[in-house]
Amino acid sequence: VTGTSTGFGRQLAELVLQKGEKVVATARRPSVLDDLVSKYPSNRLLVLKVDVNVPQDIIDAFAATKDKFGRLDVVLNNAAYVVMGELEAVPEEEARKLFDTNFWGAICVSREAVKFFREVNAPGVGGRLLQNSSIAGIIGREGMTYYVASKHALEGASKCLAAELDPAWNIKVTIIEPGSFHT
């Protein structure tokens, strides 16, 4: 799970752990997950420092997951953030940083996830790639131009990826489109 510091990522990581499953929780500041580390055993929880804007962090996280658990069934691309502002009001540098995280970060994680599901998991086991998008990526929302655009791009890329995958690999791509939540 990327982006487990707060919001959906944090809530999902906790829920999955409560259900007795194993979790690899990634965050730019892993210390914010210290309460989970003290609550759950290390054979069920692996916390890793990952900035989805740093490709080597992503590669290292998948390698650490392989070393720790030997397999991976589900990846949730969750790391993202919102910049509020109209198209002309948001500085280009800020908009590009948002796209780097919300779109390119998710794409880099997706590449590594597909590779792991295909090459590390046993043949035919595959895996499920969950893309945490937003209903805003479909319907648009004023004042959120760049966030909406990043989620729309993620939706399109995810649909293409799903169509490109060989069915024999048993890799599924699911787009999640939550509405507005206070996270």
Residues with catalytic annotation? 133, 147, 151
Give the integer Cα–Cα distance in Å for 79 and 98: 11
Question: What is the DSSP annotation of 40-108?
Answer: S-TTTEEEEE--TT-HHHHHHHHHHHHHHHS---EEEE-------B-TTTS-HHHHHHHHIIIIIIHHH
What is the rounded distance in angstroms from the CA atom of residue 31 to the CA atom of residue 166?
39
Helix (H) or strand (E) holding 37: helix 34-39
